[in-house]
Structure 1
Amino acid sequence: MTLILYSLCGADASRPFSPHCWKIVMALHHKGLAFEERPLPFTAIPTVEQGASKTVPLLRDGERLVSDSFDIALYLDETYSDRPSLFGGEGGEAMARFIEGFSQTVIHTAATRIALMDIHDMLDTPDQAYFRDSREKRLGKPLEAIAAGRDAEIAAFPAKLEPLRHMLKFQPFIGGDGPLFADYILFGALQWLRITSGSIHLPADDPAALWFERCLDLHGAEARQVA
């Protein structure tokens, strides 16, 4: 049975952009699992699967529903243990937790400030209202006030990836010679930035940008098809 992945899109369903959903898209390809992706706008998410989740990714595998990207990755590794591992053992799982923390507290924060208005403009009118209300409550400022600092955020962004550059002196992926879920976590954040703002805001010859390009080429370059 084909798995179903509910993900996030704006007005254009062909451009799903959630960083957390991209982690799972890459994880499913890594596992070699057939799946159907069903992108949803923000306001439609609570209407599917009898309101099982207010957020995506949400994965249906037969009778099983799993939410939260890390929980889905753990589920996939346990359920489909005969296929390539997403973690490569307990150490890889612990590493992925660290990368998740780094990505969400450092990279996501910067990406939000860079792409906030781009995301808003990608949405249909009902979702724009939801997005503005929810993000302004969360961030404590009007979207336009946050977006006013966009150029400064872009200028500061490359420095935030210095830990990745240091690691890439020794290996091509965070997972070593090949990618693991830790790679997909950070990739998801940059793919989110690429799709919403049109760029990852790094020089083309930056080692971090070259790593991102290698990730785009994984699994038949499926991720490269969305722009």
Structure 2
Amino acid sequence: MTITLYSLCGADAARPFSPHCWKVVMALRHKGLSFEERPLAFTVIPTVENGASKTVPVLRDGQELISDSFRIAQYLEEAYPDAPSLFGGRGGVAAARLVEGYSLHVVHSVITRILLIDIHDMLAPADQAYFRKSREERLGKSFEEMAAGRDAAIAALPAALQPLRHTLAFQSYVGGTTPLFGDYILFGALQWLRVTTGSIHLPGDDPVSLWFDRCLGLYDGAARAVA
């Protein structure tokens, strides 16, 4: 049975942009698994799989239905042990949790201030209303206030990525010589920025840019094809 991944898109289903969904897309490709991606608008998500989740990603694999990107990665690791490992062992799971925390609390906080308006502009009207209300309530600021700080957020992004840059001084990927789920966590954040704004807002010769380009080239450049 085909694996189904429910992901997130705006008015154009060909441009899925959720960072958490991109983690899973890359994990599925890493495992060499065939899957069907079904990008959904924000307001459609609660209507699928009998309302199983209000957020994506959601993965359907036969009788299994899993939400949350990290839980999905752990499921794939356990369900498909003969495919390439996403973690490289139990220690890799623990290390990926640290990367997840860094990405969510440091990298995402800067990126969010850059791309909110871009995401809003990608959405259909019904989703624009939902997105504005929910994000302004969550962040405690209007979109206009957030947009006023966009240039400052872009300027802050290189410093927020310094831990990744430090790692890349010693190895090609977060996972070492080859990518692991820790790479896909951080890749998802920058792919989110790239798809929504058209750029990752870093110099081309930055080690993070070079690593990101290597990730875009993985799996026959499938991620690069989405822009």
TM-score (norm 2): 0.99
SS in 2 for 1:202: coil
1:166: Cα distance to partner?
A: 1.0
Unaligned runs of 5+ in 1: none
CA distance in 1, matches of 2:88, 2:147: 40
Unaligned runs of 5+ in 2: none
State the partner residue of 2:14. Answer: 14
CA distance in 1, matches of 2:160, 2:137: 26
State the Cα deviation string for residues 4-51 of structure 1 (Å, max 9, x = none): 000000000000000000000000000000000000000000000000
CA distance in 2, matches of 1:222, 1:189: 16
State the partner residue of 1:174. Answer: 174
CA distance in 1, matches of 2:166, 2:131: 36
Give the total of aligned pairs: 227
CA distance in 2, matches of 1:83, 1:217: 20
State the partner residue of 1:90. Answer: 90
State the partner residue of 1:51. Answer: 51
State the partner residue of 1:183. Answer: 183
Does residue 133 (structure 1) correspond to residue 111 (structure 2)? The answer is no
Q: How does 1:142-221 map to 2 (within 5 A)?
A: 142-221=142-221
CA distance in 1, matches of 2:168, 2:111: 22
State the partner residue of 1:111. Answer: 111
Q: How does 1:12-91 map to 2 (within 5 A)?
A: 12-91=12-91
CA distance in 2, matches of 1:165, 1:64: 37
Q: Which moved more, 1:151-160 or 1:39-48?
A: 151-160
1:178: Cα distance to partner?
A: 0.1
CA distance in 1, matches of 2:82, 2:19: 27
State the Cα deviation string for residues 93-120 of structure 1 (Å, max 9, x = none): 1110000000000111111100000000
CA distance in 2, matches of 1:114, 1:70: 25
State the Cα deviation string for residues 40-69 of structure 1 (Å, max 9, x = none): 000000000000000000000011100000
SS in 2 for 1:38: strand
CA RMSD of aligned residues (A): 0.5
Q: Identity of paired residues, percent?
A: 71
CA distance in 1, matches of 2:106, 2:147: 17
Does residue 226 (structure 1) correspond to residue 226 (structure 2)? The answer is yes
TM-score (norm 1): 0.99
* One-letter amino acid of the counterpart of residue 162, structure 2: E
SS in 2 for 1:225: coil
SS in 2 for 1:65: strand
1:156: Cα distance to partner?
A: 1.2
1:198: Cα distance to partner?
A: 1.0
Give every structure 1 segment of 4 or more consecutive aligned residues whose post-TM-superposition deviation is greater than 3 Å.
none
SS in 1 for 2:172: coil
